[in-house]
A and B are shown apart, each in its own frame.
Chain A
Amino acid sequence: MNIHEYQAKEILRAHGVPVPPGEVATTPDEAGRIADSIGGMVVVKAQVHAGGRGKAGGVKLADDAADARAKAEAILGMEIKGLTVEKVLITPAEEIDTEAYLGIVMDRGSQSDVIMVSSEGGIDIEEVAASNPEAIHKLPVDARYGLLPHQASALAYALYDDPKLARQAARIISQLYAAYRAAGCTLAEINPLISTPAGEVKAIDAKMNIDDNALFRLPDVEAMRDESAEDPSELKAREAGLSYIQLDGDVGCCVNGAGLAMATMDLVKHYGGEPANFLDIGGSSNPDKVVTAFEIITSDPNVKSILFNIFGGITRCDDVANGIVEATRRIDVGLPIAIRLTGTNEELAVEILKDNGFEAMTDMDEVVKRAVALAAGSSS
């Protein structure tokens, strides 16, 4: 799950990280009022789940309250990487002496959380990593002991020569690590981490990604979920325990298991079609799940045929067959369907489908070819 900058900053503040004040506005008037109460120059920042907000014109400096109102009017409603901006964060413009990068990411390779710092902050860290990898200092943390004080200190001195700044940075690195652990993050970044002419170190931007699997025990973090920032179909799928991602094609795919679902999409492409979606109905699939899958797939107007590819292990083929029958009774699907079922209770499933006028296939390649042909308007 992604959370917004302003939410990540709330978490950081709660862990003691120095973060300048800020408030969220959903209208230009509100933005103006907040800017007025802050006083002086402010920054108006789009709150969307996308990187590169600055480059897209979603972050603007404003001279005063009236200007903040105007800037907010321009930013609210704008699209950044396909996402509409619904909220802006108003925060004071800081005087900046240096900009550094501080991040923690879950690293599969070392099977640990890795802390990264670079004195070249404020820009794409990926670019620094590619062009000047020595400029990034990395430290894998042993989760059993956590971040040790000397480790935080070493990272801090890699950022600042001035002990006054380094001491502040060491504290911030430890606080960020604590926040990362407490909020179930797989990524937490402060970019940039600034130092001011007055000798203060502060976080002026923040980004966090949360491990979905940890949310069950983090109700405060779960409450930060912004459903308006999610695709409605993907939201509906998640609530039903399905995993769905909409794509641009016209062959609607319904598969059990993520790997098989991806392989099925690849096969659609292989036979000249375009998959309309990724949809994994998961393990033990009751008929209701299949009905919801139908509703989601058919809500995409691009879909011209529906492809079922089920390999029954835990999933029982007869459950899926019942779901297909039930769905076509309850909703007007109005689209041709190609079905392949193999594995647990296959014979039972084939019977159920036959009794209701559906044909079931047993071969993955054959059913995909069929679905692609159906989408292209041929019944062969």
Chain B
Amino acid sequence: MSIFIDENTRLVVQGITGRDGSFHARQMIEYGTRVVAGVTPGKGGQSFDDSVPVFNTVAEAVEQTGANASVIYVPAAFASSAIFESADAGIDLIVCITEGVPVADMMTALPYVREKGARLIGPNCPGLIAPGIGKIGILPGQIVAPGPVGIVSRSGTLTYEVIFQLTRHGIGQSTCVGIGGDPLIGTDFVDCLEAFEADPNTGAVAMIGEIGGTDEQVAAAFVRDHMTKPVVGFIAGQTAPPGRRMGHAGAIISGSEGTAAEKMAAFRECGIAVAERPADLVGLIETRLQD
């Protein structure tokens, strides 16, 4: 089992004929994901790599292929429109990889997605992977292994680093979710923690946060109040100076909210073991899986 993605996931790739979309569509197919359709307006009727039908609209793709999940690789200027389109077509899971989406666009897209009953992951995220089952997004398939650890993270490559270290030490993962580094995102830590708690194949969770905002503090309180499974954590940005944007639009410390020290303290107070280094997560997870 896994969260958000399983054997019934039928994926449509929005922007399948673009540079990133085509590269990652192939990677996802190679990993075993059921990519049932692609969408590029104006290229409807074509076939991608002679195997995946391309449609002009997501609605057509859903109607003709039964797609229930979508992944978005379109440029930032059109990303929110792609999200609206997917939600409108009845897609259940929308994963937006695109970075640089204006926050004003997300302000209107997020309530729309919610009203349609869909789940959005991202934007500006690496997507998710359930080892041995499938992947949606850009997480490299070769570094994961099936196993009991659920991973939820705001980062991209830092997530890969943690997965890599776990796999190297023989610890596999149930699902790895990159929720994205932007200030406004569709799925947050709590959504993922809730799903991991309910997933019978997840035995422990690693939560990887960053400076900026208070999502980690909220997640810590959720762990304390609602989770029985062990959770370990890491926060990036302990050396970051206040008031500066560290690459991610979300990674900025303002006022008294959002420092790494504050978040690490919140984790500890709520019973979440905190790793000083990414490598320490391995030992923390190992002991908790043995208990």
| Residues 119-170 of B contacting A (Cβ, < 8 Å) | 126, 138-140, 143, 153-161, 164
Please tell me which one of the listed residues B100, B183, B244 contacts residue A245 in the complex, with CB atoms under 8 A apart.
B244
Looking at chain B, what size class is its interface with the partner chain? 35 or more
The verdict on A243 contacting chain B, using a C-beta distance below 8 Å, is yes
Greatest chain B CB density within 10 A among A126, A259, A262, A265 is at A259
Name the contact of A257 in the complex, choosing from B157, B239, B241, B255 (C-beta under 8 A): B157
**CB of A186 closer than 8 Å to a CB of B:** yes
Other-chain residue from A108, A186, A259 in contact with B208 (beta carbon distance below 8 A): A259
The answer for the CA separation of A23 and B230 in the assembled complex, in Å, is: 61
Q: How far apart are B163's CB and chain A's nearest CB, in angstroms? A: 10
**Contact A216–B183 (Cβ < 8 Å):** no
CA A255 to CA B155, docked complex, whole Å: 13
A262 touching B111, Cβ below 8 Å: no
Counting CB contacts under 8 A, is B44 at the interface? Answer: no
Q: Is the interface of A mostly helix, strand, loop or mixed?
A: mixed
Closest Cβ neighbor of B247 among chain A residues: A258
Beta-carbon contacts of B241-276 to A below 8 Å, as 1s and 0s? 100101111110001000010000000000000001
B102 to A261, Cβ gap below 8 A?
A: no
Is the Cβ of A266 less than 8 Å from the Cβ of B239?
yes
Q: CB within 8 A of B215: which of A108, A186, A267, A315?
A: A108
Interface residue? A15 (CB, 8 A): no
Question: Given contacts A108-B184, A365-B277, are A214 and B156 in contact (CB under 8 A)?
Answer: no
A330 interfacial by beta-carbon distance below 8 Å:
no
Residues of A within 8 A of B244 (CB): 245, 278
Smallest CB gap from A130: residue in B: B256
Q: Considering the chains assembled together, what is the distance between the CA atoms of A313 and B139 in angstroms?
A: 7
Q: Which of A259, A269, A278 is the one whose CB lies under 8 Å from B154?
A: A259
Contact A269 B140 (CB under 8 A): no
Q: Which residues of A contact B107 (CB under 8 A)?
A: 106, 111-113, 143
Tell me the A255-280 residues at the B interface (CB within 8 Å): 255-263, 265-270, 275, 278, 280
Smallest CB separation, B91 vs chain A (Å): 20
Q: Is the CB of A263 within 8 A of B158?
A: yes
Per the 8 Å Cβ criterion, residues 233-267 of A in contact with B are 243, 245, 247, 255-263, 265-267
The residue that B239 contacts in the complex, of A108, A111, A269, A314, with Cβ under 8 A, is A269
- Among B97-120, those with CB < 8 Å from A are 99-104, 106-108, 110-112
How many angstroms from the CA of A184 to the CA of B260 in the assembled complex? 29
Q: Which residue of B lies closest to A180 (CB)?
A: B104
Query: Residues of A contacting B102 with CB < 8 Å?
Result: 184, 211, 213-214, 217
What's the least CB distance linking A47 to chain B, in Å? Answer: 19
Determine if A212 and B239 form an interchain contact, defined as CB atoms under 8 angstroms apart. no
The reply to whether the CB of A144 lies closer than 8 angstroms to some CB of chain B is yes
CB distance from B173 to the nearest CB of A (A): 16
A269: nearest chain-B partner, CB-CB: B239
**CB of B66 closer than 8 Å to a CB of A:** no
Q: How far is the CA of A350 from the CA of B285 in the complex (A)?
A: 31
Does A163 lie at the interface of the complex (its beta carbon under 8 Å from any beta carbon of B)? no
B160–A313 touching, CB < 8 Å: yes
B236 touches A263 (CB 8 A): yes
Q: Which residues of B contact A314 (CB under 8 A)?
A: 20, 138
A interface residues (Cβ-Cβ under 8 A, vs B): 106, 108-109, 111-113, 126, 142-144, 181, 184, 186, 211-214, 216-217, 243, 245, 247, 255-263, 265-270, 275, 278, 280, 283, 311-315, 342-344, 364-365
Sample (21) of A-B pairs whose CB atoms are under 8 Å apart:
A106-B183, A111-B107, A143-B108, A184-B104, A211-B102, A211-B103, A213-B102, A258-B246, A259-B153, A259-B158, A260-B161, A261-B246, A262-B210, A262-B251, A263-B161, A266-B238, A270-B277, A313-B156, A313-B157, A315-B157, A343-B164
